[in-house]
Amino acid sequence: MIVRIKVKHLVLSLLVLAGLGALFVYVAVPQWQLRTVRQWLADDDRRGAEAALRMLTERGVTTGQKLSLIRDHLMEKSVSREGALDYELYVGPNHTQVRGEPLPDLYTLEEKIFLLSEYISKAPRDAFYARAVRQLAECYREAGEPGRAVELLVGAWAELEHTRQSWQWKETAVALIRLLAHSGQRAEAMTQLETFVSHSDFQAQWNEELASLRVELLLRSGDVHSGEALVSEQLEAEQRTGTGETESNRRRQLEEALRQLEAERERVMSSRSTVSGTVERHDGTPLSGVWVFLRDASIVNRSVTERDRYRVRTGPDGGFSFEHVPPGSYQLFLGMKLEQMSGYAWAITSNEWIDVDGSSDVKYPVVLQPLLEQVAPVEDEAVSGDTLRFEWQPVAGAAYYRLSIGMEIENGWGSTTYYDRVRDHWLELDKERLFDFQTGLVFETPGDWTTIEPAGLLGFMNPDRRYFWHVEAYDAEDRMLARSNGYRLDERSMGKLPFFRLTGRTLTDEDRLVLSGRFEEALAGYELKLAERPDDVHALRMAVRLREAKRLGDDKTPMEDELLRHIQTLAGLRPSAENISRMMYAHYSRGDWKEYEAQYARLIEMSDGGLSPYDSANYAGVLLKQGRYAEAKEILAAAVPEDRSHRFIGHYVAAALYVNQDASEALRVARAYPQRSYGPPLLDWAALVERIQAEANASDDATRYYAALNEKLDWHFGGDSEALYAWFRSAEYPAMKSFVQAVMGVK
């Protein structure tokens, strides 16, 4: 078939087609792409962010559309990071907190800066403009360029002034002042504040935020005197004006400001101490913009809130500094983004305290260490043989490692440290050894042993269970260097999953009874097996565990004979530290002191690294119960300093008072080893001893006083609670009473 067409018609048709094609390519397609990009962004799809940047250079998209894209999908959804509590992760030595929903940013910092700059250069100067300016300033600050942020805000402030957008203008000014204040340029911040106040109208002057910013600047300027003078002047001026509501509000604000300034003046005069340091990664990379909180001992157990007044943001070099810190004990907390912590850990133990004495400075560097890599067993490895080998990445400078093993329980994951002071970066052990270990027990109803979660009873003997482990590295001064536990939120830091299974053994019928919660039946089953074969280690272990679990609700009564017999057999077959401890406890509960001592001696022999201070102190507690104060004091003299929480200082002090019949040694050690408690009540043993000393000196005969104290201590340790409580009801010796009551709380 042939088509006849004139050249002119062909050419014109081709031109029209080309025209339509161009229209399609340069307008229709970009518009359609725009639609897709909007959809991606609405779904938090990363492709949208990348495409958005390309959209900006497309000609088929109008400026208005580009601006609205930035507005709706960047500015509206941007998470503000201006406030101290706007971050996701708050971490301290004993306490980690994740706030809100941690949504990762869809855009990188560079992308945000680019998009926001575009918006600012083209958009009308309205509320959105002001918001974009503030967000861009925040981006610059985060990128470590506060100078550019200041420039931007100053420029925007000028622009907005001409359009008389008073609310926008004020917000921009406040952002500028806040930025200057928090990046250490306080004088500049003060100047801008005064400029702003003099330019603006009456209403804006007394904005809450500005008022508190001004007080903060005055407080931190160090020149508290002129600050106070300034505020007093203003207060006087105010008092001469009317009595309307706004006026009385202002007066209240001024009075509050004055109060704070006075308190500040006292604080400044009371202490010359500065606490400063840097927050950086192990390779020296500083972390800037991180919030650092200095928190008093009384609040460390609580979450970080607005009321945490000692807070500062690290500068571009990662540095922070708190001045005029009142004397006391503090802990440092950090506020940062999850991604800043991912793959790293702040390797410190929970007993990290900063002691400020009011005259000397404290340097406190914070170093984030990369998470320890775990080599084996990992990724759900099924260990079927008789031995188990743990291996991990060695850490330079580590004197020893601490290994913990655990499992999943009802509401989470529990683990216990089973191996301390491991010299090598690997550990081989027999599975049977693991089976000896007691794992934690979870009671659904406290006191009711039938509601214990069965997993804890079977411990590591369950081939169907998934177990996990983690490890920490310590130096020769017992300071943590690194650990394997932490936030693993990106591909690089995911690492190998530290899980494994212990296969190779099958569950017995009694084991299954335990797993289904039928503990009495299981116990009967195990003991039946034991009657036939007294050396059935598994049945023995389980019988002991079940009986012990039963006793947990009621440990005041002496141990029953069956359990004691089981324990003796078990300790004979498998003389491990746990079983020896069991023997010790058994004898203790029955008051068999000689046997207790014998087992203790065995335990010391077995642990070639020495007993933990906790175990030693517990032993000292038993000695105190027997009235052997001098021996207890010896042991506590070694154990209390070694235990960083000094939780047994109470016993030490009591023993010292008893043996010496005098307060000097007691006072000395109470001052040297203050008890570290998390939150109230804060026990100040030194103060308690001082009061005892005062009371003794005030009485007619100090010797009789101390003798009376000893009598009360004997009542407490000897268990004569009746006499003790009768005495509490009497009116004499209040200081002695406070002391004895405090001693009763030691555990």
Partner 1 sequence: MKTEKETIKERLDEELQGVSFQGQRVVLARTHPRTWTDRLRAVWNAELEIPLVPAGGAAVLLLVCVMTFWSGGEKQSASPTRRGELVEAGGNVYWKEDWEKAVRRSDRSDQG
Binding stretches for partner 1 (CB under 8 A): 1-8, 10, 40, 43-47, 50, 98, 101-104, 338, 379-380, 382, 404, 406, 408, 412-413, 415, 468, 470, 484-489, 494-495, 497-499
User: Could you tell me the two tokens for 676?
Assistant: 């570290």
Q: Which amino acid is located at 448 in the chain? A: D
* Dihedrals phi, psi of 330, to nearest 5 degrees: -135, 165
Distance CA 504, CA 435 (A): 13
Q: CB burial class (10 A; 0-12, 13-18, 19+) of residue 59?
A: exposed
Comparing CB distances to partner 1, the nearer of 331 and 374 is 374
Distance CA 579, CA 76 (A): 63
| Distance of closest approach, residue 442 Cβ to partner 1, in angstroms | 16
SS (HEC) of 384-412: CCCEEEEEECCCCCCCEEEEEEEEEECCE
Scan for tokens 């869809």, then name that residue. 106
Q: CB burial class (10 A; 0-12, 13-18, 19+) of residue 631?
A: middle
Comparing CB distances to partner 1, the nearer of 7 and 476 is 7
Those residues whose C-beta lies under 8 Å from the C-beta of residue 283, and which sit 6 or more positions away, are none
**710 touches 683 (CB < 8 A):** no
| Distance of closest approach, residue 491 Cβ to partner 1, in angstroms | 8
> Left, alpha or beta for 719 (phi > 0: left; psi -120 to 50: alpha)?
left
What does each C-alpha distance from 735 to 454, 663, 677, 685, 739 come to in angstroms? 48, 13, 22, 12, 6
| Distance of closest approach, residue 687 Cβ to partner 1, in angstroms | 39
Comparing CB distances to partner 1, the nearer of 89 and 724 is 89
- Kind plus residue range of the DSSP H or E element containing 469: strand 467-474
Angle between helices 166-182 and 208-221 (to 10 degrees): 20
Comparing CB distances to partner 1, the nearer of 486 and 621 is 486
| Distance of closest approach, residue 480 Cβ to partner 1, in angstroms | 15
For 680-705, the DSSP string reads: S----HHHHHHHHHHHHHHSS-HHHH
Those residues whose C-beta lies under 8 Å from the C-beta of residue 517, and which sit 6 or more positions away, are 450, 454
The SS3 call for residue 298 is helix
**57 touches 296 (CB < 8 A):** no
Comparing CB distances to partner 1, the nearer of 288 and 484 is 484
Distance CA 10, CA 3 (A): 11
Comparing CB distances to partner 1, the nearer of 90 and 596 is 90
| Distance of closest approach, residue 46 Cβ to partner 1, in angstroms | 5
Comparing CB distances to partner 1, the nearer of 372 and 549 is 372
The SS3 call for residue 722 is helix
Rg (CA), the chain: 35
Beta-bridge partners for 390: 427
| Distance of closest approach, residue 412 Cβ to partner 1, in angstroms | 7
Sign of CA dihedral 617, 621, 626, 627: positive
| Distance of closest approach, residue 37 Cβ to partner 1, in angstroms | 12
Cβ neighbours, 10 Å, residue 386: 9
| Distance of closest approach, residue 466 Cβ to partner 1, in angstroms | 8
| Distance of closest approach, residue 84 Cβ to partner 1, in angstroms | 21
| Distance of closest approach, residue 465 Cβ to partner 1, in angstroms | 13
| Distance of closest approach, residue 96 Cβ to partner 1, in angstroms | 9
**652 touches 674 (CB < 8 A):** no
Distance CA 278, CA 292 (A): 10
Comparing CB distances to partner 1, the nearer of 47 and 199 is 47
| Distance of closest approach, residue 394 Cβ to partner 1, in angstroms | 20
* Dihedrals phi, psi of 366, to nearest 5 degrees: -115, 120
Comparing CB distances to partner 1, the nearer of 2 and 396 is 2
| Distance of closest approach, residue 22 Cβ to partner 1, in angstroms | 13
| Distance of closest approach, residue 463 Cβ to partner 1, in angstroms | 13
Comparing CB distances to partner 1, the nearer of 371 and 611 is 371
| Distance of closest approach, residue 377 Cβ to partner 1, in angstroms | 12
Q: CB burial class (10 A; 0-12, 13-18, 19+) of residue 617?
A: buried
SS (HEC) of 553-602: CCCCCCCCHHHHHHHHHHHHHCCCHHHHHHHHHHHHHCCCHHHHHHHHHH
Comparing CB distances to partner 1, the nearer of 74 and 670 is 74
Comparing CB distances to partner 1, the nearer of 7 and 396 is 7
